[in-house]
Chain A
Amino acid sequence: MAKFTPLDRRTFLRGAGVALALPMLEGMRPSLATASGSAISGVTNAATASPVRLAWVFFPNGTNYKKWKPEGEGRDWRPSSTLQAVQSVRDDLLVVTGLAHGNARSLGDGAGDHARSAATFLTGAHPVKTHGAGIRAGVSADQVAAEAIGHGTRLASMELGAEHGRSSGQCDSGYSCAYTNNISWRSATQPTAKEVNPRLAFERLVGGLGGERKDANRRQAEKRSVLDIISDQARSLEGRLGGADRRKLEEYFESVREVERRIEHLAANDHDTEASASLADLQAPAGKPESLTERIRSMYDLMVLAFQTDSTRVATLMLGNEGSNRRFPSIGVNDGHHQLSHHKKIEEKMAKIALIDHYLAEQFAYFVQRLKATPDGEGTLLDNCAVMYGGAISDGNRHNHNDLPILLAGRGGGAFDPGRHVKAKPHTPLCNLFLSMFDAAGVPAERFGDSTGRLTTLGS
């Protein structure tokens, strides 16, 4: 599907994933090329002196797992019909089976497997069942990583989505929509909103790098004086408020500080300018892409761009909200995804689910190819990435949270030995894989969620 036609640089994000590799812009790696004043933690790939980047991609509603599960083990794995979609990058990824999210199970809370799937996916936590009051899951893996390795880059992390959050009614059996709409949680009580408009996501990325260059200094000074006053206001308010109000204010305060940090980072890295000038020439993707494929690929393109320019080292992408009932007309699926996922073992419906699984995996293959085609230091971006792709429901009909469909792309700076099917012991926590990703990127963590250790079979 994906072709890499060399085009004029200006056409960068135009159209359905038609994109080209940017010329390598060394100036865009401020934090590595120069002493930027802030200490850089995280692991850099010794051979290429590049940092390791982490990303997680989520898809909703589970799979037709029989069509997903590969045969064989190790390098000789034979792709299932769904994983034929990633055959072109089979040497670049690990298929990991046997992993589970025990905390996405009901555990006495009754229905709501979709809400729990999204809420547990990156947190490994069992979410509190509530319509509104006292929402709580856990800090998500990407935010733990962002906390550890995000402060050297302009954006500590980037949260993207390919579907608008649902904005009314009950999302799933007594769970607030905050659970089905988000996978990234800054704190146990604070989901991190995702950007679903490719154009705005692009502008945030490029604009911050230099879109407003001409009067950037004045703007930055203004922003700083605004931030000074509003953070003082928040501080003086803090003492007067209690309980839940104080928690909300803390969210505000933290957000202000994060923006301050970004501005300082920008100021400390003047040589951004040159790189930014060339970036400013890039054409923005459409705000409302015409097709789903274009929307998804635009988001993948943005992740490549963000990693390539070292604007962030941590990213997440929600391909759909959990329980999404979207149709996939481009592959002839005109029933809703969620409706189909309750396939009742009817062949026709199961076949359509497999088609959707295949389609989404194919888009992921596009992402892997783009990472691979992008130079990074001495190697490629893919060498220095660890990208997990998957969901927290295995079979959409059974709503089971073991045997999760999981792919791990990239070498993680050398930590992983891709090209294999790795069978984990049944019910091994998915959080163990997160710990292995943390290790690859130098994120210190002893345990996470319900982890019981590391996945030791991913490396060579």
Chain B
Amino acid sequence: MLACLVVLGTDCAWADDSLAEGTLAKDPFAEQVTPFLAKYCYDCHQGGSAEAGVDLSLPTTLAEAQQQHARWNQIRGVVQLGAMPPADYDPLPSAEEKQAFAKLLDELVNRVDCNGNPGPGRVTMRRLNAAEYDNTLRDLLQLDFKPSEVVGLPSDDVGNGFDNQGEVLSMSPLLMEKYLSAAATITDRALLAKEATAVDVVIAEPSSDVSVRDAATRVFNNFLPRAYRRSVDPIEVQRLADLVVASVERGDSYRQGVALGVQVAIASPYFLFRIESPPESSEPSPVGPYELASRLSYFLGATMPDDELLANAGQNRLGKEAVLREEVRRLMAKPSGDTLVTRFFAQWLGLTALAELSPDPQQFPLWNTKLAKAVEEETLRLCRTVVSEDRSLLDLFDADFTYVNPRLAELYGMKYLGQDPAEMYFHGPGSVENPQSRKWDLATRGEPYQLEDRWVRVPASKGRRGVMTHASVLALTSNPSATSPVKRGQWVLDVVLGDSPPPAPPTVPSLEETAAGAEGKPLREQLAIHRENPSCAGCHKMMDPIGLGLENFDAIGRWRDEDQGQVIDPAGELAGERFSGPEELMSLIRRREDDIARNFVERLMTYALGRGLRPADQCAVDEIVEAAKPSRYPMSALITGVVLSDPFRMHSQPTQADN
């Protein structure tokens, strides 16, 4: 630090007032946090040979700690939950000391001055992911097939829980090859085939009065702004018109020439990426109108802006809040608005993993791809209802109704519209336990396929309230051959309450080490032994009792009263409050409405922005949550809130605190 002062002179001193004093002592972090660290942590966590490579002894300023907020939050969690310092350390901080330390660290590290200028941040340019690519081409060229499936685009990598994050979506030669071959296939089918779908692309043909160049210019004047989602420069159109002319001179037809131009457009970086011009300063400024139109359209439809939205952008009307609100309403009502359900909700709740789930077929012969599809559909239908009926977000977690088709009714042990579902699929009584033994009813052979689409809204069955008691989530949070109370508890904390326990520090012993000799005992007892170990207790005291409350549901979500001959005790605890079974658990969860809403808005914003949230974004999140609270968090308020927020509408150059 001193060396810096010497070399850089006053510039450096200005950067941090505390340094002007020539000492760290005045820094709030050094003054208040460091003493605790020195007393309880340095013994093991100091210097090159620090335990687990965690050296806490380096002088740290508040600014530095805020920059490394993830690291310090982990340290906070580990201390708060009692995993550190280890129980055999002497002296040990008292419980009060630990809580005070955690509170202080939280205030210091996560503190953002919302009255100051938190800054809207900056999004890394996003490549269209496979779904966005398909949807955009569908709307641009009226495709009736999914190009990503035809050329087999590799799966997009996931970051921050979603597959639309700019930093994580990368490009590779394999992908480029696929984009190029997709472009050729697409233009063949959409423009050159007999039943060409893209009827509104070739809007001009050469004739005795119209040269090839003029016709092509007209075509691309019309097409390029839609493909690039912005106004275009005449030079850009010119270049493609040149291409058409050259192509025709080579002996191609005019249409083939235009098709080649379209290939360029849909392999272009302007098409494949959502490019925003960089902000000019660290002062917040609105993103450009076309950029905002794309943000809005990809958020609410996972596709390109439609003509109306582009027109609004062209007339610079999106800066008006009323216009923006109306656009949200309009876009949500379009069929593409359902992508919020099929893409955002599905990824948030983890439903996309259902396709790969494979429960042990010996124990769960009922599970197959159709059932996997059905359990996913149930949850999507509830999400869709909450969105389209503009219900409260909280309904997701304690709805007293749900949706079933006959297959799902069978899983839940319910009648389907008064009928025994097994009899609808199969001739005779059959056996749910052993479906293979059942015989198809030959007379209604075609029926089973139609049955998959027959969904009805029904009152939730015994013990079930909301998505946490849907077979989808219950199966997702199980292992292939057994339930996992730990995973279920963690799911509630992480996905619903946004209160994810910090990852276990490396020194925490595993379940088998603490529960050695307890094999064969009921899971509840094994977990209890694990929690007796102080380093495990902090987190598992939070997770396990939640999951134990859901033990009445087996690994594919069926109700059960016993597990391996023992009656299940579904009592448990959520953050210190006791409950007697799943229904009470759900109502306790619903009472945590502020946490649920805050977590939901954070996830929604991460999806909308395509980047992880920074501490500064908490200001916007808080604002949205506060505004929606009096009306009990209706979905429209949360969605519109995200769209109207600064991080969504504005950008600025990243400041140091953003990193």
Contact = CB atoms under 8 A, between A and B. Distances in A.
Contact of B504 (A110, A193, A221, A258): A110
Contacts of A335: 360, 479-481
Interface in A342-357: 342, 344-346
B506 A164 contact: no
B503 A159 contact: no
A234 B157 CA distance: 23
Interface string B332-361: 000000000000001100111100101011
Contacts of B157: 165, 176-178, 181-182, 191, 193
Nearest to B260: A222
Contacts of B239: 229
B189 to A, nearest CB: 16
A240 B480 contact: no
Interface centre among A111, A221, A226, A336 (most CB of B within 10 A): A226
Contact of B155 (A134, A164, A245): A164
A254 B151 CA distance: 21
Given A237-B269, A346-B519, A242 B278 contact: yes
Interface in B135-183: 151-152, 154-163, 165-168, 170-177, 180, 183
A460 interface: no
Interface in B265-296: 267-270, 272-273, 275, 277-278
Given A200-B152, A230-B269, A251 B360 contact: no
B167 A241 contact: no
Interface in A105-137: 106-112, 129-135
B263 interface: yes
A334 interface: yes
Nearest to A168: B352
A164 B159 contact: no
B177 to A, nearest CB: 6
A37 interface: no
A195 interface: yes
B243 interface: yes
A226 B263 contact: yes
Contacts of B160: 131-132, 176
A interface majority secondary structure: loop
Interface in B544-602: none
Interface stretch (A265-273, A321-329, A358-366, A382-390): A321-329
B503 A174 contact: yes
A266 B350 CA distance: 44
B158 A166 contact: yes
A200 B3 CA distance: 58
Given A165-B155, A168-B350, A248-B127, A334 B361 contact: yes
Nearest to B163: A167
Contact of A197 (B53, B54, B152, B171): B152
Interface in B239-272: 239-240, 243, 246-247, 250, 260, 263-264, 267-270, 272
A424 interface: no
Most buried by A among B52, B275, B277, B506: B506
A230 B356 CA distance: 37
B424 interface: no
Contacts of A130: 159, 612
B338 to A, nearest CB: 18
Contact of A259 (B173, B347, B350, B611): B173
In this complex, which of B55, B175, B180 has the most chain A Cβ atoms within 10 angstroms of its Cβ? B180
A203 B161 CA distance: 32
Interface residues of B, number: 83
A245 B479 contact: no
Interface in A177-207: 177-178, 181-182, 186, 189-197, 200, 204
A245 B263 contact: no
B509 to A, nearest CB: 12
Which residue, B183, B267, B272, has most C-beta atoms of chain A within 10 A? Answer: B267
Interface residues of A, number: 85
A150 B264 CA distance: 28
A23 B634 CA distance: 68
B519 to A, nearest CB: 6
B156 A167 contact: yes
A252 B471 CA distance: 42
B469 to A, nearest CB: 20
B231 interface: no
Given A192-B172, A229-B239, A240-B277, A176 B158 contact: yes
A255 interface: yes
A334 B612 CA distance: 37
A245 to B, nearest CB: 5
Contact of B180 (A168, A221, A223): A223
Interface string A209-228: 00000000001011101110
A170 interface: yes
B505 interface: yes
A225 B174 contact: no
B125 interface: yes
Contacts of B504: 110-111
A249 interface: yes
B358 A326 contact: yes
A226 B180 contact: yes
B154 A194 contact: yes
B479 A336 contact: yes
B499 interface: no
A252 to B, nearest CB: 5
Interface string B309-343: 00000000000000000000000000000000000
A182 B159 CA distance: 14
Contacts of B50: 108
A233 B270 contact: yes
A107 B51 CA distance: 9
A264 to B, nearest CB: 14
A166 to B, nearest CB: 7
B345 to A, nearest CB: 11
B362 interface: yes
Contacts of B10: none
B238 to A, nearest CB: 11
B511 A329 contact: no
Nearest to A203: B152
A359 B102 CA distance: 49
Contacts of B163: 167-168
A110 B505 CA distance: 5
B618 interface: no
B480 A325 contact: yes
A255 B175 CA distance: 8
Interface string B51-68: 011110000000000000
A193 B176 CA distance: 11
Contacts of B362: 334
Nearest to B129: A167
Interface in B11-64: 50, 52-55
A251 B346 contact: no
Nearest to A287: B152
Contacts of B347: 168-169
Contacts of A190: 170-172
Contacts of A186: 172
12 contacts: A135-B159, A164-B155, A176-B158, A191-B157, A193-B170, A230-B268, A233-B268, A237-B275, A240-B277, A245-B275, A259-B176, A339-B479
Given A248-B127, A252-B273, 18 more contacts: A110-B506, A132-B612, A133-B612, A166-B158, A176-B159, A176-B160, A178-B157, A181-B155, A182-B157, A190-B171, A193-B174, A225-B243, A240-B278, A248-B170, A255-B175, A334-B360, A334-B481, A335-B481
Interface of A: 106-112, 129-135, 156, 159, 164-171, 173-174, 176-178, 181-182, 186, 189-197, 200, 204, 219, 221-223, 225-227, 229-230, 233-234, 237, 240-245, 248-249, 251-252, 254-256, 258-259, 262, 287, 325-327, 329, 334-336, 339, 342, 344-346, 397
State the 9 A-B residue pairs at the shortest beta-carbon distance, nearest first: A132-B159, A344-B512, A108-B53, A193-B154, A111-B503, A255-B176, A258-B173, A178-B157, A177-B158
